[in-house]
Structure 1
Amino acid sequence: MARLLSYSDNGSPVHALSGTTKLLYFLVWSLVSMITYDTRLLLFMFLSSLVVFKISRVDFKTVAFVLKLILVFLSINLIAIFLFSPEEGVDIYGGRTVLADLFAGYSLTAQQLFYEFNVALKYFTIIPIALLFILTTNPSEFASSLNKLGLSYKISYSVAITLRYIPDMQRDYVIVSQAQQARGVDMSRKVSLYKRIKNAALVLIPLFFSSMDRIDTISNAMELRGFGKKGRRTWYAAGKIRRRDRVIIASLVCFAILSIVITFADGSRFYNPFK
C-alpha cells in the first residue's frame, strides 16, 4: 500500500502549532510567493521551506509521489510558457541574449530562461509549505481555525471533510489499480505512454463511482446528525493560540512587510540581473 498523504502527529514543533497559525503562515507565504519575482527573495523562501520541512520530521517518501506529479505539471507549464510566449523574459528584463537557435524561428534567450527559472522557483517555494500544511494540521482543528477567522462553520466543516477524504481517495486508487492490474491491465513502463493513459481510465471510472457512493454516505450521516440546523457549533479539536503561535505570527507579519518593501524597492517586482 502506498504511503497516504494525510495528517499524522509525530510530535514535531510544526505539529505543535495551532491550525490558525499554520493557516495564516500558508496564506501569507503563498501570497508573497505569488507577488514577488525577486529571485533573491524566492531563493531565501525556498531554502526556508526546506528547513521547515526538515524540522517537521515528515518522511520524504510520504510526499514523493505527489512531488513527481507536480514536477510533471510544472514541466508542462514551463514548456507551454516557452511555446506560447518565448519572448516574455525579453519584454520583462529589457534585453535579448540568445543562447541557442531552436526550431521554427524559436530562440532560447538568457532572459526567457531566467524568467522561467523564477516561475519554477515559485512552485518550489510554495509546494513544501502546502504539503506541510496538509500533513501537520488536524482537519478538525483546521476547520475550527477557519471558523475562528470568520468563515461559516458549514464551509469550514466541508473543508475538513475534504482533507480527510484525500487519504481515502489515495487508498481507493491503489486498491482499484491493483485490482485492474490483477485482471491484466498493464500500467507499467513496459507499455507505451498512450496505453498507460488509456488503461488509467479503467481505474478512474470505478474510482469516480466509489467517490459518489462515499459522498452519498457522508451526506446522509451529516443529515441524520442534524448538521446545519443551528447557526453556530462548538469544536472538540479547537487549538489554542499560545505564545509560540504569537511569536510565529508576529515574525510572519514582519517578514511579509519586509518582503513587499524588498520586492518593490526599485519600482518593479522583477529582479533584473541583466541591467
Structure 2
Amino acid sequence: MKIKLFSYNVVDTPIHRLSGVTKLGSFLFLSFAVMFSYDIRVVLAIMLFSLGVFKVSKIKFSQVKAMLIYVLIFLVTNALITFLFEPEYGVKIYGTRHEIIHLVGRYRLTWEQLFYQNTKIFKYVAVIPFGIVFLLTTNPSEFGASLNSIGVNYKVAYAVTLTLRYFPDVQRDYHNISQAQQARGLEMSKKSSLFKRFKNALIIIIPLIFSAIDRVESISNAMDLRGFGKGKKRSWYNKGKMTLQDYTALTISILILITTILISVFVNKSRFFNPFI
C-alpha cells in the first residue's frame, strides 16, 4: 500500500521527541515571526531554518507531494491575482518607481512590485515547512493534549484529534474501494482521459461517504457509552513531559520572534525592508 498522506510519521528524530506543547508553541511563534516581517533578509533566514528543520524531521517527499502541488498552484494564483488587482502596490509601499516594462493599460511591471510579491512568496515558503513538520511529527493524541494545555476545551481538542486520526482511515478505505471497483472493470489508470478518471473517482466517493458515516456513528456511540463530555476536565494518556530539548526549542523560537520584531522596529523602522532608498 502507498505511504499514507497527512498522517503521523513514526520516526525517531529530535523533532519527533519534542512534546506536542513545544511543537505547537514553536509553530505559532515562528509563523508569527514570518507573517510579521516583510524584510526579505529575515524571511530568507527563517526559510533556511525551516527547511533545515524539515530535513531533520526525515519526512518523505511522497507524504507531502500532493500538498506541495496544491501549495504551488496557490502561490501562482495568489501572485497573479495580486498583480491583477494591485499592480502598483509595491510602488505605494516603497515610495519609488523603477519601471521594467509597460504591459497594457494600467499594468506596468516594476521592480518594486516584483520585490514585494517575491517577498510574499518567500514568506509562504518559509512557513509551510513548519506547518508540515508540526502536522506530520506530532502524535494526534499528543496534539489534542497540547491544545487542551493552552486553554482549548478538551471536547474541541478531542474532535481535532479524531479528525487527524481519521485521515489514514479515509485513505485506506478509498484505496480498498478503488481496488475493488477496478477489479470490477472501473478504469482509474492513466490510460483513460482525465475527465473519465474524475467521473470514476466520484463513483468511489459515494461508498466512501457511507463508510465514513458508519465509522462516525460507531465512534459517537462508543464515546457516549463511556460518558465522554460529562466532566469539565480530562486527563491525557499521551501528554508529553517537557524536557531540556523542549525548553531549548521554545527559547530558539521566541528569540527568532523577538529578533524579527526588533529588526522591524529599530533597524527598518517598519515591517518592510526598502532596498530602493
* Shorter-chain TM-score above 0.5: yes
Looking at structure 1, the residues matched to 64 and 215 of structure 2 have their Cα atoms a distance apart, in angstroms, of 25
Secondary structure at the aligned position of 2:227 is classed as coil
Matched residues in 1 for 2:85 and 2:45: separation? 30
In the TM superposition, 1:218-237 aligns within 5 A as 218-237=219-238
1:66-115 deviations in Å (ceiling 9; x for gaps): 11121112211211111122211121122222223334542222211111
Residue 138 (structure 1) shift: 0.8
User: In structure 2, how many angstroms separate the alpha carbons of the residues matched to 1:139 and 1:167?
Assistant: 12
Matched-pair contact (CA < 8 Å) for 2:33–2:256: no
Q: Separation in 1 of the partners of 2:273 and 2:90? A: 12
Q: Secondary structure at the match of 1:151?
A: coil
Q: Secondary structure at the match of 2:100?
A: strand
CA offsets 1:188-212 (integer angstroms, 9 cap, x no match): 49636x6666665555555444433
Q: Against the structure 1 CA distance between its residues 112 and 200, is the aligned structure 2 distance closer, same or farther, given a 3 Å change threshold?
A: farther
Structure 2: gaps (5+ residues): none
Q: CA separation in 2, counterparts of 1:170 and 1:119?
A: 33
Which residue pairs with 2:90 in the alignment?
89
RMSD of aligned Cα (Å): 2.4
| 1:130-169 paired onto structure 2 within 5 Å | 130-169=131-170
Would you say the 8 A contact 2:186–2:200 is kept in 1?
Answer: no
> What is the rounded CA distance, in whole Å, between the counterparts of 1:90 and 1:175 in structure 2?
54
Q: 1:141 to 1:114 in 2, by over 3 A?
A: same
Number of the residue aligned with 1:74? 75
1:244 is aligned with what amino acid? Q
Deviates more, 1:155-164 or 1:218-227: 218-227
- TM superposition shift of 1:227: 0.7
Give distance in 1, aligned partners of 2:174 and 2:105.
Answer: 42
Secondary structure of 2:143's aligned partner: helix
Maintained 8 Å contact 2:90/2:116: yes
- The residue that corresponds to 1:257 in the other structure is 258
2:101 alignment partner, SS class: strand
Contact 1:187–1:199 under 8 Å retained in 2 = no
1:115 partner letter:
Y
Give the counterpart letter for 2:96 in structure 1.
Answer: G
1:98–1:195 CA distance, 2 compared to 1 (3 A): farther
Cα distance in structure 2, aligned partners of 1:213 and 1:98: 60
Q: Provide the rounded CA distance (Å) in 2 between the counterparts of 1:75 and 1:199.
A: 29
Q: How many residues align?
A: 274
Contact persistence 1:53–1:129 (CA under 8 A): yes
1:144 Cα offset (Å) = 1.2
The question of 1:22 aligning with 2:11 is answered no
After superposition, residues 10-49 of structure 1 pair within 5 angstroms as: 10-49=11-50
Higher mean displacement: 171-180 or 43-52:
171-180
Question: Which residue in the other structure is 1:271 paired with?
Answer: 273
Q: Which residue of 2 aligns with 1:212?
A: 213
Amino acid in the other structure paired with 1:235:
W
Question: Tell me, what secondary structure is at the counterpart of 1:3?
Answer: coil
Kept in 1: contact 2:30–2:256 (CA 8 A): no
Report the alpha carbon displacement of residue 181 of structure 1 after superposing the two structures with TM. Answer: 6.1
User: What is the distance in 2 between the residues matched to 1:48 and 1:145?
Assistant: 24
Asked if the contact 1:19/1:145 (under 8 Å) is kept, the reply is yes
CA 1:171 to 1:97, structure 2 compared with 1: closer, same or farther past 3 Å? farther
Q: Quickly say closer, same or farther: Cα 1:73–1:9, change in 2 above 3 A.
A: same
